């Protein structure tokens, strides 16, 4: 497309939050290189790529997409499979998270221009959302990042323009690959999700410049990490060189955000590499489209925050209760909440200066939560064989946590375990062991490490015994003290 010489008047405006934003339009930087420069050619190509995709097998609304960003000749077919999932849906806005291939900087940058230009027209920027994100630590605006010819964000826009017709975008570029920066960005995106109906698109390719067979092996490991592992475990695998992707920051952010929003079930939509599409099979780049979708409403009965706080107070007061210092008797406190009359599995965890000091529980019981929590708290303090009994002098240094469990469900295969969500019970030949869901985050273990440690550390079995053991999963609702 031959562009007329147009001069955009740059000015600044204030949005409701008081953040300063620029009203100029960002011109397309990589049109003619990564995708066609002519409008009709680009529209025909994107439309054809989307039409070539099968009808989506998943009928739920997409919430998070991970898609590639290479030239459309190489990765367009794979990206189209991801964006095909969006047709027929509407969103208040689309957050597109790319990263800088060359200019590194700390944290993340959100663009404050009025719109982005592609050969298909301009895409308005959701300036209010951009301002909201800048109120979060680690998220700012770095002009040179967005004015550069960085392509990881731009190449996603024509697909959005065709699939969603009139999207509003929130353009974000990550300047680092640290887990801390990914956590900060995920905090901001989760805050934005509470304010509106947003889609989150994360841009990344997979392995680079390996032989066809090598790439398939590496990409398989990377995809499995994205689908099955926690953010902490995925970061460890990246750091150890066991998996590869250029968009490591966006991947980690997507996994952290998915955990915050409850989208723990991830679906591989399509995988191929450049050797499958248009490249030399001796030196390929891998691509995948991965989706996370609207979850069905939970049927799990949960406790109110007030009832959970009462359980924690009862756990702390079970042994050292003194009415003058800690208010009404424990029994009276729990009786205020009828929901605590139901039976449920329960664990009480004690920590001292962040280190485990005791943890004991009941997976299933016929006793009500109100009746069982004082007893379980005493067991955690006095009867955890790994530790000396807790003394009264330690009370002020302890942090008390109460986990209320769902009923365990036996699973047929370890692949059914959802990392970060499920606690696991292992049973074999009279031996048993249990890990709470919190163990995933506390250790950063992979699924394989989690199961090996469960077998050896908790059940007293050889590490690989989990492969022949009976496994059951459960979830928990965790309540901690506000100190």
Instruction: Kindly indicate the confidence band of residue 396, based on its pLDDT and cuts at 50, 70 and 90.
Output: confident
Average pLDDT over residues 361-371: 91
pLDDT of residue 368: 92
22 pLDDT exceeds 70? no
141 pLDDT exceeds 80? yes
Between 406 and 8, name the one with better pLDDT. Answer: 406
pLDDT of residue 331: 57
Report the chain's mean pLDDT, rounded to a whole number. Answer: 90
pLDDT digit string (tens) for 203-223?
999 999 999 999 999 999 999
Average pLDDT over residues 165-170: 94
Residue 163 burial (CB count, 10 A): 21
pLDDT of residue 17: 38
pLDDT of residue 102: 78
10 pLDDT exceeds 80? no
Domains of the chain and CATH, by start:
12-293 (3.40.830.10), 299-405 (3.30.700.20), 406-483 (3.30.1490.150)
Share of the chain above pLDDT 90, in %: 79
459 pLDDT exceeds 80? yes
190 pLDDT exceeds 60? yes
Instruction: Kindly indicate the confidence band of residue 300, based on its pLDDT and cuts at 50, 70 and 90.
Output: low
Instruction: Kindly indicate the confidence band of residue 15, based on its pLDDT and cuts at 50, 70 and 90.
Output: very low
Average pLDDT over residues 225-232: 96
C-alpha to C-alpha distance for 447 and 413, rounded to whole angstroms: 13
pLDDT digit string (tens) for 56-88?
989 899 999 999 999 999 999 999 999 999 999
pLDDT digit string (tens) for 265-286?
899 999 999 999 987 899 999 9
Least confident of 100-109, 169-178, 325-334, 389-398: 325-334
6 pLDDT exceeds 70? no
pLDDT of residue 279: 76
Average pLDDT over residues 394-401: 90
Average pLDDT over residues 153-179: 95
Contact 115, 125 (CB under 8 A): yes
Share of the chain above pLDDT 70, in %: 91
Average pLDDT over residues 16-36: 75
Enter the tokens of residue 465.
């015994």
Between 4 and 114, name the one with better pLDDT. Answer: 114
350 pLDDT exceeds 60? yes
């Amino acid at each position: 497309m031959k562009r007329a010489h147009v001069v955009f008047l740059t000015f600044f405006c204030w949005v409701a939050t008081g953040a300063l934003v620029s009203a100029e339009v960002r011109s397309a930087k990589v049109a003619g290189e990564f995708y066609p420069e002519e409008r009709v050619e680009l529209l025909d190509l994107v439309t054809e790529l989307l039409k070539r995709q099968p009808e989506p097998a998943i009928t739920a609304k997409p919430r998070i997409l991970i898609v590639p960003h290479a030239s459309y000749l190489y990765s367009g077919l794979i990206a189209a499979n991801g964006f095909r999932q969006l047709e027929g849906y509407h969103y208040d806005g689309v957050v597109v998270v790319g990263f800088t291939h060359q200019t590194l900087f700390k944290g993340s940058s959100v663009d404050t221009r009025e719109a982005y230009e592609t050969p298909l027209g301009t895409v308005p920027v959701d300036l209010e959302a951009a301002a909201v994100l800048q109120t979060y630590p680690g998220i700012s605006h770095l002009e040179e990042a967005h004015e550069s010819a960085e392509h990881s964000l731009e190449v996603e826009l024509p697909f959005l323009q065709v699939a969603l017709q009139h999207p509003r975008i929130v353009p974000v570029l990550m300047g680092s690959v640290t887990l801390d920066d990914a956590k900060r960005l995920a905090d901001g995106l989760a805050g934005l999700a509470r304010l509106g109906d947003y889609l989150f698109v994360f841009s990344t390719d997979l392995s680079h410049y390996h032989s066809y067979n090598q790439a398939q092996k590496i990409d398989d490991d990377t995809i499995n990490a994205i689908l099955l592992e926690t953010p902490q475990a995925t970061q460890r695998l990246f750091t150890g060189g066991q998996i590869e992707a250029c968009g490591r920051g966006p991947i980690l952010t997507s996994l952290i955000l998915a955990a915050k929003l409850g989208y723990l079930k991830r679906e591989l939509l399509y995988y191929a590499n450049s050797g499958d599409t248009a490249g030399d099979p001796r030196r390929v780049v891998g691509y995948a489209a991965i989706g996370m979708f609207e979850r069905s409403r939970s049927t799990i009965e949960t406790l109110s925050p007030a009832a959970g706080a009462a359980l924690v107070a009862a756990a702390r007061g079970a042994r050292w209760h003194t009415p003058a210092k800690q208010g009404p008797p424990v029994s009276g406190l729990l009786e205020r909440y009828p929901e605590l009359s139901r039976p449920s599995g329960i664990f009480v965890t004690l920590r001292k200066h962040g280190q485990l000091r005791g943890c004991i529980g009941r997976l299933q019981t016929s006793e009500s939560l109100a009746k069982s929590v004082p007893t379980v708290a005493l067991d955690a303090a006095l009867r955890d064989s790994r530790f000396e009994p807790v003394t009264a002098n330690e009370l002020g240094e302890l942090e008390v946590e109460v986990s209320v469990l769902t009923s365990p469900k036996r699973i047929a295969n370890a692949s059914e375990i959802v990392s970060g969500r499920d606690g696991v019970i292992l049973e074999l030949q009279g031996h048993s062991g249990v890990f709470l869901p919190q163990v995933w985050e506390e250790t950063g273990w992979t699924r394989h490490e989690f199961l090996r440690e469960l077998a050896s550390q908790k059940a007293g079995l050889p590490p690989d015994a989990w492969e022949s053991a009976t496994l059951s999963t459960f979830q928990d609702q965790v309540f901690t003290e506000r100190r």
